[in-house]
Amino acid sequence: MRLQHFPVAWFSTIMGMAGFTIAWMRAGSVLGLPAAPGATFLLVTGILFVALTLVYLTKLARFNDAVAKELRHPVKLSFFPTFSIALILLGIATLHSAPGLSFVLWAAGTGLHLLFTLYVMAVWLNHTHFQIHHMNPAWFIPMVGNILVPIAGVHHASPEIAWFFFSIGLVFWLVLLTIVYYRVIFHDPLPEKLLPTLFILVAPPAVGFISYVSLVGSVDSFARVLYYLALFLTLMLLSQVQRFTRLKFFLSWWAYSFPMAAMTIATMLMYQHTALPFFAGLSYLLLALLSAIIAMLVVRTALGVARKEICVEE
């Protein structure tokens, strides 16, 4: 039965769609583009999140052994926090239009993500079967996801809570980044299915920039270091676009979406604070690229579902 093989990684689609939604919302206020697309994408993303949650809860009820197996898997384990990150992102997306709902989503996502972070860390510290070839950029998700919390957190709670989560995400990003580069340089290449996760490298400095500016209220020297590192990583990965376009479709292709959304939002924020025309032009370019990526992913995912390429036994 396909439900038994419904992967928790489906929630990465919510990350991508939520990031896309926030990017269009920000484009409305920063670039003067129409606000209607952002509101429409938010509704679609919310409906998709509810649908995926109901499906996965059904899987949990009927095939809890399959869920337990995912929780023990060295790669799939890292995708469970995509659920809590989805809640945090929806909290960010509704921050101005529905502050009360935003707080509920943000608080639920933040609390749940802390639990996921502690659980994953406990598994890492007490494992008996993880090997270096299991390491891939998806391992950033549980730890570095904490860096998202301050974006809405500065509006909903004490800044000390925001700094707490920012510190976790920032420090463990550097730790995991070192391990990822060691793995990809000195060991076998990532398997084809996980190659798209290389785009996740862009997300930590891009989101870190947005989160840090939310905390301090300005673009200072450290903020620039984060932004320009994210920009370099984006250029590095886009320079290898032919390598990625030759890959067979997997659900992991959604790893292209959220990092590009984060980079787009970061660039608009950079333009907002510097007023430099270069960042305005780059914002338009990245928003167009992000929109094309999302359209491609939606079409390709729909085809994958229709062809029964997804939710199959590995």
Separation of alpha carbons 251 and 9, rounded Å = 7
Class of domain 2-306: mainly alpha
pLDDT digits (tens, 9 = 90+) for 221-252: 999 999 999 999 999 999 988 888 888 888 88
Overall average pLDDT of the 112-140 stretch: 90
Cα–Cα dist 12/222, whole Å: 29
Mean pLDDT value of segment 280-287: 98
Q: Hunting for tokens 């860096």 — which residue is that?
A: 147
Predicted pLDDT at 1: 64
As a whole number, mean pLDDT of residues 112-132 equals 90
Could you read off the pLDDT of 284-307 as tens digits, one per residue? 999 999 999 999 999 999 998 888
Percent share of the chain, pLDDT over 90: 79
pLDDT for the residue 300: 94
CA distance 24 to 33: 8
Measure the CA–CA gap between 174 and 226, rounded to whole angstroms. 12
**What's this model's pTM, rounded to 2 decimal places?**
0.95
**C-alpha span between 226 and 232 (Å, rounded):** 10
Extract the tokens encoding 64.
């809890």
Q: What is the mean pLDDT of residues 122-138?
A: 86
Mean pLDDT score of the chain, rounded to an integer?
94
Is 314 a residue whose pLDDT tops 80? Answer: no
**Mean pLDDT (whole number) for 261-269:** 98
Q: pLDDT above 70 covers what percent of the chain?
A: 99
Please give the Cα distance from 213 to 230 (Å, whole number).
Answer: 15
Q: Report which of residues 131 and 288 the model is more confident about.
A: 288
Size (the chain), residues: 314
Please report, in angstroms and rounded to a whole number, the separation of the first and last CA atoms in the chain: 13
Instruction: Label residue 81 by pLDDT band (50, 70, 90).
Output: very high
DSSP letter at 6?
Answer: -
Question: Is the model's pLDDT at 313 over the cut of 80?
Answer: no
Q: Which two tokens stand for residue 296?
A: 């491609």
Q: Please report, for residues 205, 238, 257, 286, the alpha-carbon distance to residue 233 in angstroms, rounded to integers and kept in the order given.
A: 9, 9, 15, 14
In the chain, what are the domain boundaries? 2-306
Give residue 61's pLDDT: 92
Tracing tokens 């229709």 back to the chain, one arrives at 306
pLDDT digits (tens, 9 = 90+) for 35-79: 899 999 999 999 999 999 999 999 999 999 989 999 888 889 999
Question: Which residue in 83, 88, 67 sits closest to 7, CA to CA?
Answer: 67
Residue 259: pLDDT over 70: yes
What was the pLDDT predicted at 212?
Answer: 98
Spatial CB neighbours of 261, under 8 Å, sequence gap ≥ 6? 16, 19, 20, 22, 23, 290
Contact 14, 82 (CB under 8 A): yes
8 contacts 79 by C-beta, under 8 angstroms? yes
CB 202 within 8 A of CB 237: yes
CA distances from 11 to 97, 181, 236, 281 (A): 23, 26, 26, 31
Secondary structure of 13-24 in the HEC alphabet? HHHHHHHHHHHH
